[in-house]
Structure 1
């Protein structure tokens, strides 16, 4: 009797697991497509156990990639449409928005509007709207987020134009150059402010070419991207030394007036390492 009970329990568990995968597939494609390609879907998703994470969750990214690679999931529209994307996390909101906005920019999304942002039951949501001829590709978004040690743990398709991403930020960091002791770093001319990871440093010397008209604007941030302090120097500088306080993890280097003032490289020379 005990053996029968155990066998039945295992069968129910296995069936429930299969149901989760099938439900995820059905949520990503139309009922007509699912019915038409059912036999093919059974084939490409075999064995089903390969589409689950170690904790029992369906691997949404792997499911989407399999559907997409086999021509079952189409992310393109016949004409541009309004797209709504919600990004959710339990991590630090400022760091999350910075990582997400950088990732979107890196995959070609520059023009979007924030529709809402805020906490709900300890979960932070950032919702954006954009006009595009295709829905954001979850595979490309996932690959971009990996650069910042973030992982997409679920992708929810409400309909063709409304998507939600659940993001794990447990080990999140900005995908920016890290200043290391004894390693000179050259910052090339850029249209954007320079973000750097300075978590290991105590002092950094910055040299600026005489061709530059650099009026330093330095912002200091902690690990969660909370702004700690800002230094503005309204005098042209060719050399400055930064004192990196204990809680500082990132800095942003810019110019008070315009980055066009920086025509040549800025050269960073670490001069003192933090003692842990």
Structure 2
């Protein structure tokens, strides 16, 4: 009986180690793996260190490869790079907002959507852009961590095509918090302004002298379901929003162009939830 148990654990350990090495192999090209097989075996000898629950921690694997010069992200010439992001949740809008912010923070402001839709994996978003270097998956994972989102799986389909699986069960978007009794000035925004208002009952927005604001304001709950909106075709000097109990975010923009907010607006929060 003891011998059978030892044999079981030996076989399990072997399969376990192979699963880690198979994941390693999926992130590097065949030449790199063949040339550095001894180093790779040594780096990933302690398979327990690369597991998270019952799955391989792909970002830890990628980090180890990167730190040892084994994660090649450079392409031989300018190519079309394709990144696919999978999300198993129920709010694609929230997911795409978070991913767009993450890519923008990495300097990827001009990406094209190749595909966005549902499949057996959930919601899938594929973007393409031109470049000579694939975005660093370790850096992308770190940027997502700032929003409490996690990369749970990572796959290199080929040199220019990578696939990510994202867990957003605890995620939050990038928004500046405002608290009751606080006033904030926003001047010359280059994109719509997101405010976190979960503890505020009312938000007052005043146009500052020099601006010519046509209000475009949307109130969302924490999963970015729209609760209310205000879009004015005429100039807006003052706007008072009574926020529902489940309001979490307010997006402030201009109906026509953000150039109309060249002098900005002043936000004042009233009443604590």
TM-score above 0.5, yes or no:
yes
The alpha carbon displacement at 1:52 in A equals 1.1
Is 1:60 aligned to 2:65, yes or no? Answer: no
- Superposed, which structure 2 residues align to 1:13-92 within 5 Å? 13-53=12-52, 55-91=53-89, 92=91
Q: What residue is the counterpart of 1:193 in the other structure? A: 192
Considering only aligned residues, what root-mean-square deviation do their CA atoms show, in Å? Answer: 1.6
Q: Is the 8 A contact 2:21 2:44 kept in 1?
A: no
- CA distance in structure 2 between the partners assigned to 1:198 and 1:77 by the alignment: 44
Q: What residue is the counterpart of 2:211 in the other structure? A: 212
- CA distance in structure 2 between the partners assigned to 1:181 and 1:45 by the alignment: 51
In the TM superposition, structure 1's runs of 4+ consecutive aligned residues that sit over 6 Å from their partners are none
Task: Report the secondary structure of 2:190's partner residue.
Answer: coil
- CA distance in structure 2 between the partners assigned to 1:39 and 1:101 by the alignment: 39
Task: Describe the superposition over 1:162-186 as per-residue Cα deviations: whole angstroms up to 9, x where unpaired.
Answer: 1110000001111111222233223
- Superposed, which structure 2 residues align to 1:1-276 within 5 Å? 1=1, 3-53=2-52, 55-91=53-89, 92-121=91-120, 123-274=122-273
After TM superposition, the score normalised by the length of structure 1 is 0.93
Task: Describe the superposition over 1:29-76 as per-residue Cα deviations: whole angstroms up to 9, x where unpaired.
Answer: 1223212211211222242221111x1211111111111121111101
- CA distance in structure 2 between the partners assigned to 1:128 and 1:94 by the alignment: 15
- CA distance in structure 2 between the partners assigned to 1:97 and 1:144 by the alignment: 15
Using the TM superposition, name which of 223-232 and 251-260 deviates more: 223-232
Q: Is the 8 A contact 1:210 1:238 kept in 2?
A: no
Structure 1 unpaired stretches of 5+: none
- CA distance in structure 2 between the partners assigned to 1:30 and 1:122 by the alignment: 26
Q: Is the 8 A contact 2:175 2:249 kept in 1?
A: no
Q: Is the 8 A contact 2:217 2:230 kept in 1?
A: yes
Structure 2 unpaired stretches of 5+: none
- CA distance in structure 1 between the partners assigned to 2:144 and 2:251 by the alignment: 21
Q: Is the 8 A contact 2:174 2:194 kept in 1?
A: no
Q: Is the 8 A contact 2:75 2:159 kept in 1?
A: no
- CA distance in structure 2 between the partners assigned to 1:270 and 1:66 by the alignment: 46
Task: Report the secondary structure of 2:61's partner residue.
Answer: helix
After TM superposition, the score normalised by the length of structure 2 is 0.94
- CA distance in structure 1 between the partners assigned to 2:227 and 2:203 by the alignment: 17
Using the TM superposition, name which of 225-234 and 136-145 deviates more: 225-234
Distance 1:122 1:73, change over 3 A: closer
Task: Report the secondary structure of 1:35's partner residue.
Answer: helix
- CA distance in structure 2 between the partners assigned to 1:223 and 1:183 by the alignment: 21
